[in-house]
Amino acid sequence: MKEAITPQAAAELIPDGAVLAIGGFMGVGTPHRIVDALVEAGRKNFTVIGNDAGRPDFGIGRLVHAHAVSKLIVSHIGLNPEAQKQMIDGEMVIDLAPQGTLAEQLRAAGYGLGGVLTKTALGTIEAEGKRVIEIDGEEWLYEPPLRADFALIHSDQADYVGNLTYQLTATNFNPIMAMAADTVICEPREIVPVGVIPPDAVRTPGVLVNYLIKRA
Amino acid sequence: MDALEIIQRRVARELKPGSLVNLGIGLPTGVSRYVPAELSVFFQSENGIIGMGARPPEGMEDEDLTDAGGGYVSALPGAATIDSAVSFGLIRGGHVEATVLGGLEVDENGQLANWVVPGKMVPGMGGAMDLVTGARRVIVAMQHTARGRPKIVPKCTLPLTSLRRVTLIVTELAVIEPTDDGLVLRERAPGIVVDTIVENTTAKIHVPEYVPEMVLSVRTLEEASAAAA
């Protein structure tokens, strides 16, 4: 049985300066109640790994808006002018990564792999300063694994042991991040008794999940 | 017919029945309007759906079902949803038959710049670098010029999206194919003469003796199957 905690209690677990992997794509599939609790708790200096900077004051954008992020590792910030402003002002460092590379860097960390060899971004400015590895005469760009202290994820259902299901495009980075962090906190849409989720429907096994967020 | 419709209609004719296709946000999204359902093209959105359909009626939207721009979409019969690693595995692994993207510049090498204007517009590359590198065919759908400035240039001045040579460039004036021997003019838009295309292109462009006019009608399944064969 997993412990179900409030978003406020989750925020208490997360210290300033932590590395957070936060699920979601433009705020779809983002654990909004945990994000809100972090903002309310006035946490600072996070390194946030996510698909994008969300929109101003929405999704990961809420943390950016609250000046709680010192480094953002994402593939896209185009819909959040506040993130661009903080980048230009030097208040926040933004590491842009191709979306597929970002997914694989997280996956590599979670799956115990030494990194990723990809053709994506090879020869572009995005590859500057990065290692190019030649194998059998072919060049590949090396990208290291990307691991977080905390994965903050959203699911559709969770059962009492923490088995998770996802719905439609709210899946995105959530199951990948669940593998790639020391502590996994999931905000499910609903918590159901064990047995409601058939084994074949489980997308993230409960053994990976440390805490569930209580229903609102 | 305006410039966007010409581009969208012409690109739509490139799509093969039953294939997996990724349309970029913006101009490319509108290509789907000219692809009839009977072609059973599966549109992928890289946030995690294959078989994306049109925006649902007002009030019927599902907050867990959006495209890569965050706009509400629907799922067609046969749709599948996937996580981001699978989604980009499909893209990088060459399982996506065609990707249609906008462009800021394309050059004589057929290389595309479409993700950043240093110092001005830094939205991030999103999935563009993976798509241009990994899709089996890369179709650039863009206006021929931007505020009068040609976008098909000798050498990209903006940072490249990928070293990969794109498959086809479709504009409201022309269809241009990058080849080993450089850019080749394949088609011209209805009513457009070759000189107009050359004048609006700073890249060297090879002009064959006969340059047919674009066909812009919507392809039936029969036509599309014949063209793909």
Residue B36: is its pLDDT beyond 90?
A: yes
Residue B68: is its pLDDT beyond 90?
A: yes
Beta carbons of A77 and B124 less than 8 Å apart: yes
User: Domain extents for chain B?
Assistant: 3-228
Strand (E) positions, chain B?
Answer: 20-23, 42-45, 49-53, 74-81, 98-101, 105-107, 112-113, 137-141, 145-146, 149-150, 152-153, 168-170, 174-179, 182-188, 205-206
Q: How many CB atoms lie within 10 A of CB B26?
A: 13
User: Domain extents for chain A?
Assistant: 3-116+146-213
Interface test with A, best of B52, B86, B125 (most A CBs within 10 A): B125
Q: What is the mean predicted confidence (pLDDT) over A81-93?
A: 93
The domain over range A3-116+146-213 is classified in CATH as 3.30.60.50:
no
pLDDT at A57: 82
pLDDT at B121: 81
pLDDT at B4: 97
Predicted ipTM?
0.96
pLDDT at A1: 86
Residue B8 near chain A (CB below 8 Å): no
- CATH number of the domain at B3-228, out of 3.40.50.1000, 3.40.50.261, 3.40.1080.10, 3.40.47.10? 3.40.1080.10
pLDDT at A188: 98
CA-closest candidate to residue A44, choices A62, A12, A17: A17
Q: What is the mean predicted confidence (pLDDT) over B141-153?
A: 96
DSSP letter assigned to residue B213:
B
Interface test with B, best of A86, A120, A157 (most B CBs within 10 A): A120
Beta sheet of B74-81, edge-to-edge order? B74-81, B49-53, B42-45, B20-23, B98-101, B137-141, B168-170, B174-179, B182-188, B205-206
CA-closest candidate to residue B87, choices A173, A177, A164: A173
Which secondary structure element, helix H or strand E, spans residue A185, and what is its range? strand A181-192
Q: State how beta strands B98-101 and B20-23 pair.
A: parallel
Residues B153 and B172: their CA atoms lie apart, in Å, by 16
Residue B119 near chain A (CB below 8 Å): no
Residues A164 and A23: their CA atoms lie apart, in Å, by 14
Q: Is the dihedral of CA A140, A145, A151, A155 positive or negative?
A: positive
Residue A97: is its pLDDT beyond 90?
A: yes
Residue B2: is its pLDDT beyond 90?
A: yes
Contact A77, B126 (CB under 8 A): no
Residues of B acting as catalytic residues:
46
Which band of pLDDT confidence, cut at 50, 70 and 90, is reported for residue B119?
confident
Q: At what angle do helices A99-110 and B84-92 cross, to 10 degrees?
A: 120
CA-closest candidate to residue B212, choices B168, B169, B175, B172: B175
Which band of pLDDT confidence, cut at 50, 70 and 90, is reported for residue A73?
very high
Chain segment A99-157, per-residue pLDDT in tens? 999 999 999 999 999 999 999 999 999 999 999 999 999 999 999 999 999 999 999 99
Query: What percentage of chain B carries pLDDT values higher than 90?
Result: 96
- CB contacts of A108 in chain B (<8 Å) are none
Residue A170: is its pLDDT beyond 90?
A: yes
Chain segment B187-220, per-residue pLDDT in tens? 999 999 999 999 999 999 999 999 999 999 999 9
User: What average pLDDT does the structure give for chain A?
Assistant: 97
Q: What is the mean predicted confidence (pLDDT) over B39-47?
A: 97
Residue B24 near chain A (CB below 8 Å): no
With CA atoms as reference, the chain B residue closest to A78 would be B123
Residue B69 near chain A (CB below 8 Å): yes
Q: What is the mean predicted confidence (pLDDT) over A53-77?
A: 95
| Residues near A125 by beta carbon (within 8 Å), at least 6 away in sequence | B116, B159, B160
Q: What letter represents residue A189's amino acid?
A: R
**pTM for the model:** 0.96
